[in-house]
Amino acid sequence: VDKLHEALAAWQPPEKVHVALNNHAYDVLIGKDLIDRAGRWLAPLLPQKRVVIITDEHVATLHLPRLERALAETNIRFDTLQVPRGEGSKSFSCYSDLMNRVLALGIERHTTIVALGGGVVGDLAGFIAATALRGLPFVQIPTTLLSQVDSSVGGKTGINAPAGKNLIGAFHQPIAVLADSSTLATLPRRERVAGYAEILKAGLIGDPDLFAWCEAHGADVLDGNPQALTEAVRRACAFKAKVVTQDERETASQNGRALLNLGHTFGHALEAEMGYDGRLLHGEAVSIGLQMAMKLSVELGYAKETDLERLDKHLTQLDMPKSIRRLGNHFSATTLIENMMRDKKMKDGKLTFILLRGIGKAFTNRDVELGPVRVLLEDAGCAP
Ligand code: NAD
Ligand code: MG
């Protein structure tokens, strides 16, 4: 009984970020041990007391038992399907195999797909939910910092094609997101760093308060401090929610959802060269990309040298990736620029860059000449 009292006294209601999309508004719940009460949070939202959990083999060993227990306690029927961990699972063959396994369970239109895992599981399970029986209800339980602050909010789902990453997919909004901060305790620091880059990105794009908060608390986030993690996730989700509600399907020609690609034009170009085998994590590439985007913005006269100094100081203090040189790969500026031009963010054959007029002031620019980009890359140590 004492234990129960203690637990009740320590219990805090989760933070809530409302994603106010017109036809499918939903809440992101953020807090400790949400998975242990998943049944309680989900039961009122599920159209049928039946779910299919999709997770990866690694997350399954860490966090699946808690989820299954919580669902069982609330009489929610579940089946669980596991895929191998890693980007390789976002493939056609894994998708088709998984789809067949889902269909073999005899699911119905009201069966909910629950993604338990990082962005890989979220994107894959989300695409299954978007396409099985022409669309099933979907719940995200993101377990990496990156997926809690980025991929679980906004409704983009999909898989990779041999021709490139995330080229096959659909918009499919979840009915709920449970961001359980206690899952992040098992996350390697390197994965926290990668997720943190997307948080910092949000601040740089349009939330100078968040950037200042990062300057004060970023080290705690990287150290895995639970309060700092919860606060960072809440702030970054609130920012992303605002952006995606204003431009749900990335159709705005200016300053809409595309702003979320700050640092990604450079980042993707580096990732394409390094491969997706874990040598360079997406968030690490973004971290470098943020610094490059700021440098280019200063170079082109949009941002001040002092803005670059402030970002550089923060990245240096936290030992975040910021230099292409340190990757120890021999990049060619020409190849990197070719990679940028293959990006699906191209429009009418022109490169779109997200640039900065200062911290918290990102904007879309379609007229960046390739010359300054090349100079920047060569200054960063790339061969011509
Ligand atoms: P991930 O899903 O591969 O997870 C990284 C690794 O961490 C995996 O090996 C996983 O098994 C492990 N892991 C997950 N949770 C853990 C935990 N709690 N403790 C210990 N280990 C854990 O990678 P990610 O960084 O979460 O996501 C990357 C993917 O997200 C990419 O495929 C990217 O394209 C996608 N993405 C999608 C969107 C979107 O809007 N849909 C946005 C950003 C990224
Ligand atoms: Mg990203």
In the numeric block, which tokens belong to residue 124? 């894959």
Model pLDDT, residue 171: 96
Residue 186 in contact with ligand 1 by CB distance below 6 A: yes
Tell me if 118 CB under 6 Å of ligand 1.
yes
Q: CB within 8 A of 268, min separation 6: which ones? A: 165, 285, 289, 339, 340, 343
List, in sequence order, every residue forming a beta bridge with 332; answer none if it has no partner: 383
Q: Using the predicted structure, report yes or no on whether residue 308 has a pLDDT greater than 70.
A: yes
Tokens of residue 286, six digits: 């973004």
Tokens 């004060």, located at residue: 216
Taking the centre of ligand 2 as the mean of its atom positions, its distance from the CA of residue 265, in whole angstroms, is: 10
**Mean pLDDT value across the chain:** 94
**What per-residue confidence (pLDDT) applies to 349?**
63
Q: Given a cut of 70, is residue 294 above it in pLDDT?
A: yes
Place of tokens 């006294």: 9
Q: List Cβ neighbours of 304 (8 Å cut-off, separation of 6 or more).
A: 298, 358
Q: Using the predicted structure, report yes or no on whether residue 341 has a pLDDT greater than 90.
A: no
Binding site membership of 126 for ligand 1 (Cβ less than 6 Å): no
DSSP count for the chain of H helices, then E strands: 14, 11
Q: Enter the ipTM.
A: 0.99
- pTM beyond 0.90: the answer is yes
The predicted pLDDT at position 345 comes to 64
Task: Tell me the per-residue pLDDT of 190-227, one tens digit each, with 9 for 90 and over.
Answer: 999 999 999 999 999 999 999 999 999 999 999 999 99
The more confidently predicted of residues 62 and 328 is 62
| Gyration radius of the chain over CA positions | 21
Q: Which of 61, 91, 123 to mutate to test the pocket of ligand 1 (most atoms within 8 A of CB)?
A: 123
CA–centroid distance, 119 to ligand 1, in Å, is 4
Provide, rounded to the nearest whole percent, the portion of the chain with pLDDT above 90: 83
Establish whether residue 130 lines the binding site of ligand 1, counting it when its CB lies within 6 angstroms of any ligand atom.
no
- Ligand 1: residue whose CA is nearest its atom 27: 119
> Is residue 346 over pLDDT 80?
no
Q: Reply yes or no on whether the pLDDT at 344 is more than 70.
A: no
Q: Does the C-beta of 117 come closer than 6 Å to ligand 1?
A: yes
**Does ligand 1 come within 6 angstroms of the Cβ of 187?**
yes
Across 18-32, 258-272, 302-316, which has the greatest mean pLDDT?
Answer: 302-316
- Protein residue with least CA distance to atom 44, ligand 1: 151
CA torsion angle 145 147 150 152 (round to 10):
-140
How many whole angstroms from 286 Cα to the centroid of ligand 2?
7
Residue 88 vs residue 164, higher pLDDT: 88
Distance between CA atoms of 78 and 72, rounded to whole angstroms?
8
Q: Is 121 in the pocket of ligand 1 (CB under 6 A)?
A: yes
pLDDT bracket for residue 366 (50, 70, 90): confident
Per-residue pLDDT tens digits for 13-23: 899 999 999 88
Ligand 1 proximity of 240 Cβ (cutoff 6 Å):
no
CA distance 330 to 181: 38
> What's the pLDDT score for residue 6?
77
Q: Looking at residues 302-312, what average pLDDT do you find?
A: 98
36: tokens are: 């242990």
* 166 Cα nearest atom in ligand 1: 34
Residue 30: how many CB atoms within 10 A of its CB? 25
The band of 232, judged by pLDDT with boundaries at 50, 70 and 90, is very high
Indicate which ligand has the atom closest to the C-alpha of 155.
Answer: 1
* Contact criterion met (CB below 8 Å) for 79 and 58: no
The pLDDT score that the predictor gives to residue 242 is 95
Q: How do residues 129-173 score in pLDDT, each as one tens digit?
A: 999 999 999 999 999 999 999 999 999 999 999 988 899 999 999
The rounded Å distance from CA 48 to ligand 2 centre is 33
List, for residues 264-279, the tens digit of each pLDDT value.
999 999 998 998 888 9
CB distance 246 to 258 below 8 Å:
no
Q: Of 204, 196, 181, which is closest to residue 283 (Cα–Cα)?
A: 196
Residue having the nearest C-alpha atom to atom 40 of ligand 1: 151
Which protein residue's CA is at the shortest distance from atom 21 of ligand 1?
187
Summarize the confidence of residues 355-366 as an average pLDDT.
96
The per-residue pLDDT for range 65-87, each reduced to its tens digit, is: 999 999 999 999 999 999 999 99
Distance CA 340, CA 350 (A): 10
